């Protein structure tokens, strides 16, 4: 029996798109709250159930469960326009959101039109050296959060007069900066932007409030919260492959600050991993297979961005990076997703070590010459363990025991290489294609 609160934290341990949305949806029916704590509309979380596909960006992935309260925490870069679009699209499909089931932190920072503009201008200025962002204004929004005087928070949307004054003043300042730095010809229309955001405030006001207090109350009352991560640990602003990262704290360490809860609140940490690796955008990717193998995974896994549609780079499973990410977040269990995708490959490879100039690089714990750091990932050579592949379609399996022996051996090797047990195995897009084991079996106490 652990002394952690009976909460779940679901985070990505690779470079995003690990299948977090599906895992969150599958666990959400056991939770009273599902709370986002990082990122913004750069996230694209997919849920498939009853033949219906939902791609969520800002709205938490608990939304399909009646009785679950979905929370957008203070750590989120909140784009009200995108949120309203998602709310309306969900309503059309029969899922109604209002103050009873969607709460938005007044302390979250608003993505403004100038953030989207700056994201694009900055990326084009970088040319070949660009980060490959999702163009959702994420970096510029968090920069203004740090600068403070040029920030607009979601709570500001509900005071129309103060908002108008603030937006006009910031727009005037930004126009000067963009003209000077990027040669932007058109100044921002501060009046129009102010009116647009006043309208968003009117629409969203009943849902905006003190979500930190709400979640702390839930912790005190023993109501279960699921904290839903965005992105993946290797994209974390502090602990990822900087500068090819996003701009927020996306590991479990980001939960307390990003949701306004105490450090114990994350509870049981579930790290989602793909059975292979994908990355979208620029930056190091040691196990990348920029070849037929990568294309095979891209085709079978439909590896195209949920937010941008960009083809994702694909490669072998990297246990060195995942072990680092799992240690960083104190991961209790792994959720292994897309295990059906590599079927048909003769062999499977797992990267179990790195080398730089002949020296081994890994965790201190395994006696490597050098500790792992994401900063050297652009220079490493991978050491692989090779395992047999499997050809069977595993989409109908309902228990781990039903999987072909080669797939079970692959799971065991991942557990061993990463040093954590696999508590969830996902074998297809659909909600039902999810196998729970260990402490994550429904109804079992942690
Ligand atoms: P997220 O950002 O971590 O929520 O992941 P995305 O939704 O961006 O990408 C995961 C993709 O894989 C989506 O298209 C999911 O529908 C799909 N998916 C999730 N789990 C599985 C699985 O076990 N098998 C297959 N074939 N697809 C899956
Ligand atoms: P989910 O939650 C995959 C990547 C971008 C880019 C870098 C910076 O769906 O897993 P940003 O727009 O955040 O400034 O881009 O981070 N990125 C993601 N990649 N999945 C995501 O979210 C991502 N969110 C950001 O591709 O490389
Ligand atoms: Mg995604």
Residue 346 a catalytic site member: no
Measured in Å, residue 46 CA sits from the centre of ligand 1 at 6
Q: Is the CB of 68 under 6 A from ligand 2?
A: no
pLDDT score at 236 = 98
* Separation of alpha carbons 35 and 69, rounded Å: 8
Q: Is the CB of 17 under 6 A from ligand 2?
A: yes
Task: Give me the helices (H) in 152-238, please.
Answer: 160-182, 190-204, 211-221
Q: Where are the domains of the chain?
A: 8-95+210-436, 109-206
Catalytic residue among 25, 45, 239, 340: 45
Measured in Å, residue 43 CA sits from the centre of ligand 1 at 12
Ligand in closest contact with the CA of 21: 1
CATH of 109-206, one of 3.20.20.80, 3.40.1710.10, 2.30.29.30, 1.10.300.10: 1.10.300.10
pLDDT score at 446 = 41
pLDDT score at 268 = 96
Residues 6 or more apart whose Cβ sits within 8 Å of residue 325: 13, 14, 232, 233, 234, 251, 271, 331
Q: Look at residues 259, 256, 261 and name the one whose alpha carbon lies nearest to residue 220.
A: 261
Residues 6 or more apart whose Cβ sits within 8 Å of residue 249: 38, 75, 236, 237, 238, 257, 258
Q: Is the CB of 280 under 6 A from ligand 2?
A: yes
* Separation of alpha carbons 250 and 271, rounded Å: 12
Q: Is the CB of 277 under 6 A from ligand 2?
A: no
* Separation of alpha carbons 246 and 65, rounded Å: 29
What number does the ligand 1 atom closest to the CA of 301 have? Answer: 26
Residue 366 a catalytic site member: no
CA-closest residue to ligand 2 atom 5: 133
CA-closest residue to ligand 1 atom 27: 429
**Inter-residue contact 313 to 301 (CB < 8 Å):** no
Phi-psi category of residue 326: left, alpha or beta, with phi > 0 → left and psi -120 to 50 → alpha: alpha
CA-closest residue to ligand 2 atom 6: 133
Cβ count within 10 A of residue 400? 15
pLDDT score at 444 = 52
Catalytic residue among 17, 119, 236, 340: 17
What number does the ligand 1 atom closest to the CA of 337 have? Answer: 23
pLDDT score at 185 = 87
Residue to probe by mutation, ligand 2, list 13, 14, 16, most atoms within 8 Å of CB: 16
Q: Which residues line ligand 1 (CB under 6 A)?
A: 12, 16-22, 44-46, 48, 302, 306, 337-338, 340-341, 426-429
Residue 233 CA, distance from chain mean position: 8
* Separation of alpha carbons 224 and 206, rounded Å: 24
HEC profile for 370-386?
Answer: EECCHHHHHHCEEEEEE
The reply to whether omega before 243 is within 30° of 0 (cis) is yes
pLDDT score at 136 = 98
CA-closest residue to ligand 1 atom 11: 19
Ligand in closest contact with the CA of 16: 2
Q: Is the CB of 230 under 6 A from ligand 2?
A: yes
| Whether the domain at 8-95+210-436 and the domain at 109-206 fall into the same CATH topology | no
What number does the ligand 1 atom closest to the CA of 427 have? Answer: 23
* Separation of alpha carbons 247 and 442, rounded Å: 35
Measured in Å, residue 429 CA sits from the centre of ligand 1 at 6
**Inter-residue contact 18 to 12 (CB < 8 Å):** yes
Residue to probe by mutation, ligand 1, list 12, 19, 61, 280, most atoms within 8 Å of CB: 19
pLDDT score at 257 = 98
Residue 32 phi, psi dihedral angles, 5° rounding: -85, -35
pLDDT score at 389 = 97
Q: Look at residues 256, 264, 380 and name the one whose alpha carbon lies nearest to residue 324.
A: 380
* Separation of alpha carbons 313 and 76, rounded Å: 26
Domain 8-95+210-436 - what CATH class?
alpha beta
* Separation of alpha carbons 412 and 148, rounded Å: 48
Query: Tens digit of pLDDT per residue, the chain (446 long)?
Result: 456 789 999 999 999 999 999 999 999 999 999 999 999 999 999 999 999 999 999 999 999 999 999 999 999 999 999 999 999 999 999 999 999 999 999 999 999 999 999 999 999 999 999 999 999 999 999 999 999 999 999 999 999 999 999 999 999 999 999 999 998 889 999 999 999 999 999 999 999 999 999 999 999 999 999 999 999 999 999 999 999 999 999 999 999 999 999 999 999 999 999 999 999 989 999 999 999 999 999 999 999 987 778 899 999 999 999 999 999 999 999 999 999 999 999 999 999 999 998 899 876 556 778 888 999 999 999 999 999 999 999 999 999 999 999 999 999 999 999 999 999 999 999 999 999 998 888 755 44
Residues 6 or more apart whose Cβ sits within 8 Å of residue 23: 10, 270, 272, 335, 337, 424, 426, 434
Q: Is the CB of 136 under 6 A from ligand 2?
A: yes
Crossing angle (nearest 10°) for helices 405-418 and 319-329? 60
- The helix/strand/coil state of 337 is strand
- The helix/strand/coil state of 423 is strand
Residue to probe by mutation, ligand 1, list 16, 21, 22, 314, most atoms within 8 Å of CB: 22
Measured in Å, residue 191 CA sits from the centre of ligand 1 at 41
């Amino acid at each position: 029996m652990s002394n952690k609160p009976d909460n779940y934290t679901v985070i990505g341990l690779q470079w995003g798109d690990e299948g977090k949305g599906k895992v969150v949806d599958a666990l959400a029916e056991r939770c009273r709250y599902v709370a986002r704590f990082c990122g913004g509309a750069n996230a694209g979380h997919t849920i498939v159930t009853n033949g219906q596909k939902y791609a969520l960006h800002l709205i938490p992935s608990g939304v399909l469960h009646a009785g679950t309260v979905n929370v957008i925490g203070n750590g989120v870069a909140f784009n009200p326009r995108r949120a309203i679009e998602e709310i309306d699209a969900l309503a059309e499909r029969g899922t109604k959101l209002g103050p009873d089931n969607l709460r938005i932190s007044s302390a979250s920072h608003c993505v403004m039109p100038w953030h989207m503009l700056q994201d694009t201008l900055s990326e084009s200025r970088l040319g070949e050296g660009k980060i490959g962002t999702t163009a959702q204004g994420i970096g510029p929004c968090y920069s203004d959060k740090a600068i403070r005087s040029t920030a607009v928070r979601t709570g500001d949307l509900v005071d129309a007069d103060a908002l108008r004054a603030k937006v006009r003043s910031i727009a005037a300042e930004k126009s000067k900066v963009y003209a000077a730095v990027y040669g932007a010809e058109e100044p921002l229309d501060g009046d129009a932007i102010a009116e647009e955001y006043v309208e968003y405030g009117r629409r969203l006001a009943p849902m905006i409030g003190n979500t930190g207090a709400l979640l702390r109350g839930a912790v005190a009352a023993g109501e279960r919260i699921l904290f839903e991560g965005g992105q993946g640990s290797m994209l974390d602003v502090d602990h990822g492959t900087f500068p090819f990262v996003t701009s927020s704290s996306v590991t479990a360490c980001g939960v307390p600050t990003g949701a306004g809860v105490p450090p114990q609140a994350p509870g049981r940490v579930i790290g989602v991993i793909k059975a292979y690796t994908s990355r979208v955008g620029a930056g190091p990717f040691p196990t990348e297979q920029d070849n037929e193998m990568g294309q095979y995974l891209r085709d079978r896994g439909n590896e195209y961005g949920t937010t941008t549609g960009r083809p994702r780079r694909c490669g072998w499973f990297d246990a060195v990076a995942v072990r680092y990410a799992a240690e960083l977040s104190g991961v209790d269990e792994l959720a292994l997703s897309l295990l059906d995708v590599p079927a048909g490959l003769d062999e499977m490879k797992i990267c179990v070590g790195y080398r730089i100039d002949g020296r081994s690089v890994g965790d201190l714990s395994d006696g490597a010459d050098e500790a792992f750091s994401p900063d050297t990932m652009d220079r490493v050579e991978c050491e692989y363990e090779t395992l047999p592949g499997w050809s069977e379609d595993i989409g109908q399996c309902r228990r781990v025991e039903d999987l072909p022996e080669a797939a079970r051996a692959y799971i065991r090797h991942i557990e061993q290489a990463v040093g954590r047990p696999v508590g969830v195995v996902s074998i297809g897009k659909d909600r039902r294609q999810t196998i729970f084991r260990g402490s994550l079996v429904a109804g079992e106490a942690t």
